[in-house]
């Protein structure tokens, strides 16, 4: 098979989940670009449900998709992949992401507020003005904000391509060694142990920055999952094991989630937990991360529909919508504030506005030839079937 349709559905699900998560970021106490006047810790346990695994899942699926893409089109692979990722990243940083930084400055970065207007800000943004500062520091511009995922995905693709070129036998040998280990109960244990080792060794030294150059814990987990997806893409035993053990994975995921909720919200440890509890939390976090990914992959293999017109449409739409969605959330959230809507009303409204505006944006983008590459799509509409066009779209 040229692709796994269950992974296509997982990709659609994971990117859709990002919309819900980023709407939630407006209402929690954690730092974000704009904040609701009603922000609190109320929904933070629900946010924690996907925090350990949602991005790791995307990197694993991206690694598997890269394996299929590289096998179908090895000649010029890196050039094509770079075009599909770096053009949207650059355009996103210069145009799409700018309103996020603008409203962050308007709401919090300038004592007394920022009043010079969007176009004046955009000029300073493009000029890398270092003057957007408050007591918490300065805003680095231009920025990639949520598009850090695209930058990391390109870097990991380059790492993978370099390994294949410089040491072509290494990754196949690693895959052959891993295949039997991950075709049985080891599929629930070995990846979790790798992720636990990364968290134990690195998370206390390298906080999550999404700045690429100093984000070593994130690289340890996300590059590992990306390479795992690549190595296991065509290993039937791996996917069969995930499907067989899906219920066991779900039990581990739910039990470990319960522990994490207790640890972060009910234990009373605050910022100074005992060292043993902190180490236990890091191990449990890693097992929750992998068990959740394994359960989702296993249930998707069992239950996900196959190819369909809906999947072809959503599969092509998901990357442009990902590029657009956070800017839509920030702009809509800020401009809804004067209405004073309570979160129970405003939150669902934000979700509806975000999906509606993002899909509308996609409908415009896909019809405009010059705009398509700016959002990771092939420049011209395919004269062949819609499925053929989807298979050429950004993975």
pLDDT digits (tens, 9 = 90+) for 160-181: 999 999 999 999 999 999 999 9
Name the CA radius of gyration of the chain, rounded: 21
Output the CA–CA distances (angstroms, integers) from residue 261 to 44, 208, 255, 282, in the order listed: 9, 20, 10, 13
Average pLDDT over residues 313-330: 97
The three-class DSSP label of residue 133 is strand
For residue 221, the model assigns a pLDDT of 97
Per-residue pLDDT tens digits for 216-233 = 999 999 999 999 999 999
Q: What is the pLDDT of residue 134?
A: 78
Q: Which residues contact 324 (CB under 8 A, 6 or more apart)?
A: 96, 357, 358, 361, 362, 375
Work out the pLDDT band at 1, boundaries 50, 70, 90: low
Q: Encoding tokens for residue 52?
A: 């350990």
Segment 41-79, tens digit of pLDDT: 999 999 999 999 999 999 999 999 999 999 888 889 999
Confidence band of 110 (pLDDT split at 50, 70, 90): confident
The pLDDT of residue 385 is above 50: no
CA 206 to CA 216: how far, in whole Å?
6
| Under 8 Å between Cβ of 54 and 10 | no
> Would the pLDDT of 383 be above 80?
no
pLDDT of residue 381: 59
- Which pLDDT score is estimated for 242? 97
DSSP 94: I
pLDDT at 267 over 70: yes
Q: Where residue 17 falls among pLDDT bands split at 50, 70, 90?
A: very high
Question: Average pLDDT in the 101-125 region?
Answer: 88
Question: Tokens for 242?
Answer: 């995930």
Name residue, tokens 């106490």. Answer: 29
Cα dihedral sign, 165-181-193-188:
positive
The pLDDT, as a whole number, for residue 131 is 87
Q: How far apart are CA 388 and CA 314, in angstroms?
A: 14
Higher pLDDT residue, 379 or 296? 296
Query: Of 181-190, 224-233, 377-386, which range is least confident?
Result: 377-386
Confidence (pLDDT) at 2:
61
The pLDDT assigned to 394 comes to 40
Residue 372 CA to chain centroid, in angstroms? 21
Per-residue pLDDT reduced to its tens digit, 362-380: 999 999 999 999 999 998 7
Q: How many angstroms separate the Cα of 188 from the Cα of each of 174, 227, 233?
A: 18, 17, 17
Query: Residue 221 belongs to what H/E stretch?
Result: helix 216-232
Helix, strand, or coil (residue 117): coil
pLDDT at 112 over 90: no
Give the whole-number percent of the chain exceeding pLDDT 70: 95
CA-nearest of 38, 16, 53, 10 to 289 is 53
């Amino acid at each position: 098979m040229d692709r796994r349709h269950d992974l296509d559905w997982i990709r659609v699900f994971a990117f859709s989940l990002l919309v819900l998560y980023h709407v939630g970021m407006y209402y929690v106490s954690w730092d974000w670009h704009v904040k609701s006047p009603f922000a609190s810790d109320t929904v933070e346990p629900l946010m924690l449900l996907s925090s350990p695994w949602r991005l790791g899942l995307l990197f694993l699926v991206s690694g598997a998709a890269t394996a299929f893409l590289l096998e179908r089109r090895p000649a010029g692979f890196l050039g094509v992949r770079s075009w599909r990722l770096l053009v949207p990243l650059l355009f996103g940083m210069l145009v799409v992401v700018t309103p996020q930084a603008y409203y962050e400055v308007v709401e919090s970065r300038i004592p007394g507020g920022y009043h010079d207007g969007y176009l004046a800000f955009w000029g300073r943004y493009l000029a890398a003005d270092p003057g957007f500062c408050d007591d918490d520091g300065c805003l680095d511009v231009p920025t990639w904000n949520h598009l850090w995922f695209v930058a990391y995905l390109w870097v990991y693709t380059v790492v993978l391509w370099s390994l294949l070129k410089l040491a072509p036998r290494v990754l196949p040998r690693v895959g052959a060694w891993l295949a039997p280990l991950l075709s049985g109960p080891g599929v629930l244990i070995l990846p979790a142990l790798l992720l636990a080792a990364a968290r134990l060794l690195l998370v206390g030294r390298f906080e999550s920055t999404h700045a690429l150059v100093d984000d070593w814990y994130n690289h340890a987990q996300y590059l590992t999952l990306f390479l795992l997806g690549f190595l296991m893409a065509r290993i039937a035993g791996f996917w069969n094991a995930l499907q067989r053990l899906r219920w066991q994975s779900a039990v581990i995921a739910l039990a470990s989630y319960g522990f994490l909720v207790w640890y972060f919200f009910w234990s009373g440890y605050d910022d100074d937990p005992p060292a043993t509890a902190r180490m236990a939390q890091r191990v449990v976090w890693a097992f929750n991360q992998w068990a959740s990914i394994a359960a989702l992959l296993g249930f998707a293999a069992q239950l996900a529909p196959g190819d369909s017109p809906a999947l072809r449409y959503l599969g092509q739409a998901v990357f442009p919508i990902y590029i657009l969605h956070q800017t839509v959330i920030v702009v809509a959230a800020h401009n809804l504030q004067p209405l004073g809507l309570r979160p129970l009303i405003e939150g669902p409204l934000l979700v509806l506005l975000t999906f509606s505006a993002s899909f509308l944006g996609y409908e415009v983008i896909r019809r405009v030839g010059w705009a398509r590459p700016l959002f990771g799509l092939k420049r011209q509409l395919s004269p062949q079937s819609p499925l053929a066009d989807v298979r050429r779209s950004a993975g």
